[in-house]
Each structure stands twice: as structure tokens, then as C-alpha cells.
Amino acid sequence: MVGNMTASPAEKLSPVKAERLTAVKGMNDILPPDSARWEWLEGKVRHLMQRHAYRNIRTPILEHTQLFVRGIGEVTDIVEKEMYSFEDRADKHGDHDHLTMRPENTASVVRAVTEHNLLYDGGKRLYYMGPMFRRERPQRGRYRQFHQIGAEALGFAGSEVDAELILLAAALWTELGLTDWRLEINSLGQPDERARHRAQLVAHFEQHADSLDEEARRRLHSNPLRILDTKNPAMEAVIESAPRLIDFLGTDSLAHFDSLTAILDANGIPWTLNHRLVRGLDYYNLTVFEFVTDRLGAQGTICAGGRYDYLIEQMGGKAAPAVGWALGVERVLELIREQGDSISFPTLNAYAVIPQRSALPMVTKALQALRAAGVSVQMHAGASAEDLGSMKSQFRKADNSGAEFALIFGATELAQGCVAVKSLRGEKAGGRQVQTLQPLSDVAAWAHTLRGPVLPDAA
């Protein structure tokens, strides 16, 4: 189409009409106004973590595939079928890296902590937020790119830190106004206790081999504990009658469990013992827990975690105990929505109405001064380069913007070194909205009169 006088600029660039592109299946755009809920949640989390002395860690999204194979365990849903892995381009020696987009963040945190020797002077409390990637079947509450917020305490062996993390999560639900959750706990004991349980569990499943589905039969000898985690209702009876881990725990493991639940009880956190709770990842011991809700259908787990005292050593670090959890941001936000949220999001304080383009240099200067003083201001901008639009259409936009005030930079006001401030929401005086004149020479002196609800990050 080159040479065609009527072609649009885009058509001049490409000879065929561009096909419309879409996002990858199971991966969502987070758009305004919904993105404000994400910022609100993240703001709450940041402040809460700070108050609990957890500090932020940010690790890369891409890691060596081996990190997750070793960290999560070969015989898990994630490693068997959910990872986005690829071979990187060859370097100059012809060597390829096998890389994976992180499906979870604990393995990465452990790698980073080990690589940078973060535990050299004692335990560390860390938190993260960010996207994770799993190639699952997309459905409500289950996506291929989803987001987790996680907290990890590394280098502490006592159950008081398990309790601290659970209390932290419970405090977050309170901050977010969530009431519809319950806490389920189990103890996976220590490896030797688990080995004894495992032998009996395998014997039990072998006796009832005809009740097992194909996946369970495949896992019977590689990872029988994971069979307890099945979502297949047909296996209900065989699972219910299986030997229970708690019956295989020794004195120390039981003491760990009891001292944890004593702290939870003292803090008024209700919990139930769920014998079938084993978690999808292989690396846990002692405490495992999930916060569950009935309001999100099948995807009811909003937060899950546990102790992983052997993972750091297994990943090549110096042996150190650890415990942590991760919550699913999409599910938490969905639950907030389910409960009928009453979140008050920050509104726009002011909308600048600009009759003449010639005023723009002065207007922009005044707006920057207002913004520096903490006011949120939207500048009117026209769709065409020549015309800013009529006063009528600018006022309509000011109204629709949700702003509390219109700032009118008319020629008369500017000639007096002023801007007219008109209330768009408040009481009308004699049928007209209240309007005042304010000096541009001293914006800071009256900026506070425009400031409304505090922005999330300043909270």
C-alpha cells in the first residue's frame, strides 16, 4: 500500500491490516479501576509486614530449572506438568541454560539467602510479592500467571515463629476486612516419623488398590503422602480410613504442635486439625497450614504454608530451619469482592479546566506545585492537537472524572494571577456551586483545602 495517499500511518507501516493480538490464555491484564484494589492490598501488606519486622526480597522471575526440580520435588503437579520451561539460546561455547519461569518463590528465596549468605548473622524475616507461572487449566481462581504474596522466616526453629507467621496472616485478613476464613493445621512430623507413617500408608493403599485412581496408583510408591491431597471425590473413603500422620509423631513433634496451637488459642485464632492436609510441595516438615474459605468454590485455599527445615540444606546451603506461607492475591481479592467490599479508593482531588491553550505554560506550573503539595490533579487534555474542547465539554469531563473540585484557568482569573476553584460535589449555595479565587503565587498556602482521602501509599 506504499504510495497510497489515503493510507493511515499504521497501514503505511505494514502492508496487511494488522490482526488483533490478545493476551496469552490464563494470563490477565489488571486494568483500572480494578488495579486500584491491587495497590490498596499491596499497601496494606507493606505496612503490616513492616510492623511485623519482615523485610522485602525481590528475586528474578527466571531461574535455572534445576532449582525448582530440587526445591519443589520431581513428583509434584508443579514439576511434572505445570512449569513454563525452555532452553535458552546457546552462548558462545554452545552451552544452553535450562530456564523456568518461577512457579512459586520459596525455592528462589532459599537460593538467594544461600547465595548471599544472608543467615551469617542470624535468622531473617522476609516477604515478597509478585507474579508466578503455572500451566494449569485456567478457571475461576486458577490462572497461568497469578500473583503471590509470601512471608518466610529463615533460621528460626521454634514454633513461636510458625505462630508469628499465622498471626501475621490473620492480622492481614483483619486489615482487609475478611471474616470468611478458617485455619486448618496439620503436622507432617519429622522424616523418620513420616517414613513409619509412609510404610503403613502404602500398605493401606495397596490393600485398597482398586479404589485408587490412575494418578494415585502412579504415586503410590513415589509420593504416597500426596495421594491424601487428591481432589478426586471417588477416593474419599479410602483417604478417610488411611493411617493418620499425627498418630506417628514423637514427643518433640507433638510438643512443637502443642506449643503452636497454645499460642494460637491465646490469641483467639480458631483452628482445626486436618489430617489430610499435606500440601502440594514436597519440602515441608512439622507444621503445615492453610487458610480456607467456602466462598470461592473449588479454589478455596487463599493462603498456604508450613515449615521446611531441610530445604536449605537440600539446596546446598548450610542447614537452617525455616517456615513460611504464600497467599494467592487473585483469590484474596475475589473473596473481598464476594463479601461485598466497602473499600474507599482514593479519589481525584481536582480537574483543571483550561479554556485557552496559551495558558498551558502557567497552568502546568501551577499543577506541578499543587501535586508537589500532595493534591491529585488531572489536567484537561483535548483529543485533537488544535482544540481543547468547549467549556461545557470540559466541565462534563471534570464531573465524570470524580474530582471534588474544578480548577478554572480562565483568561480573567489568570490576568489577576489567580485560578477559580469550584466545588463539584459539595453543597450548592443559592443553586450555584461554591467558587473561590486562589492566588497562583502561593499555591502551597491553599493546596490543603483541595486534599481529600489520602493516597494508598501515603497511608
Minimum CB–partner distance for residue 196 and ligand ATP (Å): 25
Sheet strands (E) in 200-346? 271-273, 285-292, 301-307, 322-328
In the complex with ligand ATP, the residue whose CB is nearer, 280 or 402, is 280
In the complex with ligand ATP, the residue whose CB is nearer, 25 or 365, is 25
Alpha-carbon gap, residue 328 to 343, rounded angstroms: 19
Please give the grid coordinates belonging to residue 72. Answer: 519443589
Alpha-carbon gap, residue 31 to 46, rounded angstroms: 21
CA angle 9, 13, 15 (to 5 degrees): 110
Minimum CB–partner distance for residue 264 and ligand ATP (Å): 19
Measured distance between the N- and C-terminal CA atoms of the chain, rounded to whole angstroms: 55
Q: For residues 391 and 382, is the Cβ–Cβ distance under 8 A?
A: no
In the complex with ligand ATP, the residue whose CB is nearer, 75 or 360, is 75
If DSSP codes are grouped into helix, strand and coil, which group holds residue 329? helix
Please give the grid coordinates belonging to residue 345. Answer: 479508593
Residue with smallest beta-carbon separation from ligand ATP: 328
In the complex with ligand ATP, the residue whose CB is nearer, 330 or 404, is 330
In the complex with ligand ATP, the residue whose CB is nearer, 288 or 418, is 288
Minimum CB–partner distance for residue 68 and ligand ATP (Å): 11
Minimum CB–partner distance for residue 154 and ligand ATP (Å): 18
Alpha-carbon gap, residue 443 to 374, rounded angstroms: 11
Alpha-carbon gap, residue 31 to 84, rounded angstroms: 25
In the complex with ligand ATP, the residue whose CB is nearer, 132 or 420, is 132
Alpha-carbon gap, residue 156 to 322, rounded angstroms: 6
Minimum CB–partner distance for residue 42 and ligand ATP (Å): 16
φ and ψ at 324, to 5 degrees?
A: -170, 175
Q: For residues 109 and 57, is the Cβ–Cβ distance under 8 A?
A: yes
Q: For residues 284 and 187, is the Cβ–Cβ distance under 8 A?
A: no
Give me the helix-helix angle, 35-51 and 159-176, nearest 10°: 140
Minimum CB–partner distance for residue 348 and ligand ATP (Å): 32
Residue 266 exposed, middle or buried by CB count within 10 Å (0-12, 13-18, 19+): exposed
Helix (H) or strand (E) holding 353: strand 350-353
Minimum CB–partner distance for residue 51 and ligand ATP (Å): 23
Minimum CB–partner distance for residue 303 and ligand ATP (Å): 6
Please give the grid coordinates belonging to residue 344. Answer: 474507599
In the complex with ligand ATP, the residue whose CB is nearer, 301 or 438, is 301
Q: For residues 438 and 446, is the Cβ–Cβ distance under 8 A?
A: yes
Minimum CB–partner distance for residue 182 and ligand ATP (Å): 14
Query: Long-range contacts: 138-142, Cβ < 8 Å, 24+?
Result: 138/25, 138/26, 139/298, 139/299, 140/296, 140/297, 140/299, 140/334, 141/296, 141/297, 141/298, 141/299, 141/328, 141/330, 141/331, 141/334, 142/299
Minimum CB–partner distance for residue 143 and ligand ATP (Å): 4
Please give the grid coordinates belonging to residue 81. Answer: 506438568
In the complex with ligand ATP, the residue whose CB is nearer, 130 or 402, is 130
In the complex with ligand ATP, the residue whose CB is nearer, 79 or 327, is 327
Alpha helices of 309-425 — where are they, by DSSP H?
A: 311-314, 329-338, 360-372, 391-400, 411-415
- Contact residues for ligand ATP, defined by CB under 6 A: 104, 134, 136, 141-143, 146, 148, 280, 299, 301-304, 326-328, 330-331
Minimum CB–partner distance for residue 357 and ligand ATP (Å): 48
Minimum CB–partner distance for residue 327 and ligand ATP (Å): 6
In the complex with ligand ATP, the residue whose CB is nearer, 335 or 421, is 335
